[in-house]
Amino acid sequence: MQRLILRSKNQIALASGLLIAAAFLNRWTVGSPLVFEGALIAAALMGILPIAIQAYQAARLRLVTIDALVTIAVLGAFAIRNFEEAAIVTFLFLFGAYLEQRTLHKTRSAIKELLEMAPETALKLMEDGQFAEVDVEDVEVGDILLVKTGAKVPVDGTVTAGEGSVNEASITGESMPVPKEKGSQVYAGTILDNGTLQIAADRVGEDTTFAKIIELVEEAQDSKSAAERFIDRFARYYTPTVLAMGLLVGLLTRDVELAITILVLGCPGALVIGVPVSNVAGIGNGARHGVLFKGSEVIGDFSRVDTVVFDKTGTLTVGRPAVAETEFYGENTAEAPAYLASIERESDHPLAKAVLAEIGEIETYAVENTEVVKGAGVVATVNGHRVAVGNAALMARENVALDDKARAALASCEERGNSLVLTAVDGQLQILMGVRDQIRPGVKGVLERLKRLGVRSLVMLSGDNQGTVDAVSRELGLTEARGNMLPEDKAAYIRSLIAQGRTVAFVGDGVNDSPSLALAQIGIAMGGGTDVAVETSDVVLMNSDLGRLPHALGLAKATARNMKQNIFIAVGVVLVLLASVLFGEWMNMSIGMLVHEGSILVVILNGMRLLRFRLTTSRERS
């Protein structure tokens, strides 16, 4: 019976409201006191049932809740035959719970949207060579799947055949289609806008990126921040205090109605709901914009960050070396790129790959008499010419003369953090290339936005040499940059910053970043990084997009402000109501309950504003 009544709360609220409306309609028309009181008594008795049941269930757990205050207040109203207020109070309480339920449901829209995107079936290649539709739970690693235009990608996998464009908004938050071809990675829950793909399943079920996103958001929205835990403890003691205060006032004043009104007005509903709704809405907004907060606790700490420490490779830089500068020397240089490509195509060195990418498609020659000079480069015969490819030390070994212009170019390249690839043909320098890890597009703008959001120190730590680190730091305008750092050095540096009283966020993507990610107050992982980095972190930037970091910080600050606003509204309303009933004459139980339920709705709607949060220039400066 109890379950049935609780499941029917909304219907009971509607019936109660209709009875109250009928009572007042009777008063204004027929004027029958019997009908008026009868309708109000029926409405009050009907409305108090689910409230009293909830109070009883909480009491069994030794908790005195808002439901208990309302139940006692309504019973007291019956005792003094104030049926009008008893009926109105129960209706407003149930109607407020209905509005709260509806609006809170909207704040969890991120989870609902994610769950709706989850694929349920897949087209799997069977033993007879045909594709058949199966449940996605039946797909195993290594299976070949077919994805057609408009279909959802069922698992994380690698494209084995076909081409197309995939909408990865469910993973990255970006709606622009991403072209896919053989060898490309695809993710479960994304949608193939056009084309047809065959993919090999790499991660299935709960191991897919999409499943992990849903799990992280659910865990985050169910977690409690320090503020929520404090308010829970506060409400546990506050509610019995209000009950005691009401009884004391009743005993001292002999005014039962005043005591009952205090019980109603002292309900801390807005205070209890205000902080959770802010956290849930903030986490939901982040999920839709490619930012995963791992819990409500993270938001409070992140909002206070004043120092952001970055790993260099793969975070501030792309993580792949590319040719940044090229100079040609001498008169007959037309064949030199072909000679250089001929030698580099036989090497697996990252610099060789960068050089080949820069040269592009070109005719190459057979390479003979190859001699690898350790730590310097390669010397070989190409098309009858002696070709040396390497650093300045190799040029000196080969007696290649460098004029003043070439020496100045070498020094300038090294100053800017480049690794040098020099090419000499028959003892004459012909090509100088400067290769370095390229800074991620838009990083400088991201750092400027972080400064406007109140970050005082931007620091870079790297295992790379100090010269390269300094060059990147100068280009980006960082506060500090340190090179030649091992993982333990980075962790020690984070400890030193925390010891200075800084609130530190560390941004990284590799296994070697994990100790620093765990040690910093806020660890921020690039979503395309290693699993251990993502697991260790507090915040994940999906698709390794550093451009989401300002939105994440701005959202954390907005959520923290929103929580404080809701606490202020909730406490302020209770104080005003209690002051009004103790020192004024206009306040009664019905008005108090109306204001009380209105305050709950206000804090919920205030929290829901976070669902539409977008970082703007004005917010960055606030």
Contact 378, 368 (CB under 8 A): no
Q: Which is it for strands 317-328 and 367-373: parallel, antiparallel or unpaired?
A: unpaired
Distances (CA, A) of 206 to 43, 70, 146, 219, 329: 49, 44, 20, 14, 57
Distance CA 327, CA 495 (A): 44
Output the DSSP codes for 294-309.
-SHHHHHHHHT--EEE
Query: What are the start-end ranges of the E strands in 426-572?
Result: 428-439, 457-461, 480-482, 504-508, 522-526, 539-541
Return the amino acid letter for 465.
N
Distance CA 486, CA 505 (A): 19
Contact 337, 362 (CB under 8 A): yes
Query: What are the start-end ranges of the E strands in 473-564?
Result: 480-482, 504-508, 522-526, 539-541
Contact 424, 446 (CB under 8 A): no
> For residue 107, what are the contacts with CB-CB under 8 A and spacing of at least 6?
277, 280, 281, 284, 604, 607, 608, 611
Return the amino acid letter for 393.
A
Distance CA 19, CA 87 (A): 9
Helices (H), 173-304: 209-222, 226-253, 256-265, 269-288, 296-303
Helices (H), 108-225: 109-117, 169-172, 209-222
Distance CA 10, CA 605 (A): 20
Nearest to 100 by CA among 609, 604, 569: 604
Contact 507, 524 (CB under 8 A): yes
**Chain CA centroid to CA 506, Å:** 15
Q: Alpha-carbon torsion 448, 451, 457, 460, what sign?
A: negative
Q: Alpha-carbon torsion 572, 575, 581, 583, what sign?
A: negative
**Tokens for 289?**
């914009």
Provide φ and ψ at 456, rounded to 5°: -85, -35
Rg (CA), the chain: 34
Catalytic residue from among 67, 143, 301, 311: 311
Catalytic residue check, 470:
no
Distance CA 576, CA 586 (A): 13
**Element (DSSP H or E) covering residue 200:** strand 191-203
Contact 471, 417 (CB under 8 A): yes
Nearest to 357 by CA among 373, 368, 344: 344
Q: Under the phi-then-psi rule, with left for phi > 0, alpha for psi from -120 to 50, and beta for the rest, what region is 613?
A: beta
* Residues tagged active-site: 311
